[in-house]
Amino acid sequence: MAEEERKFSKQLIGKTVVSKTGKRFGEVGDLVFETRSGELIHLVLHSPTSYTEKLELEKDQDGHILIPFSAVIAMGDFMVIAEEDIL
């Protein structure tokens, strides 16, 4: 993997999560990954917006909203997700 394609968790934590249509979901608070393979499974949302709170999304045992990592379509200044992949 080229060095430019690598992202470290500390670069993702705190990024604003938005849909490709521009709806704000909250911020990345943590990451859930498979320990054996290292595969990223979920983004754990911190400070979810009222829009996000109204959606019936999966939550962890502490009540934090989970966004499947498979819904992430771009990472840069924002984490961009395909909203249709999580609803």
* pLDDT bucket at 38, cuts 50 / 70 / 90: confident
Res 32: pLDDT? 94
Q: Of 42, 48, 46, 38, nearest to 86 (Cα)?
A: 42
- According to CATH, the topology of domain 16-85 is SH3 type barrels. (2.30.30)
* pLDDT bucket at 1, cuts 50 / 70 / 90: very low
* pLDDT bucket at 81, cuts 50 / 70 / 90: very high
Mean pLDDT for the chain? 91
Res 3: pLDDT? 52
69 three-class SS: helix
Res 53: pLDDT? 92
Instruction: Tell me how long the chain is.
Output: 87
Cα gap 41→69, rounded to integer Å:
5
Tokens of 70: 């498979």
**Separation of CA 60 from chain center:** 13
Q: Would you say the C-alpha torsion 17, 20, 22, 25 has a positive or negative sign?
A: negative
Res 87: pLDDT? 77
Q: What is the pLDDT of residues 44-72, one digit of tens each?
A: 999 999 999 999 999 999 999 999 999 99
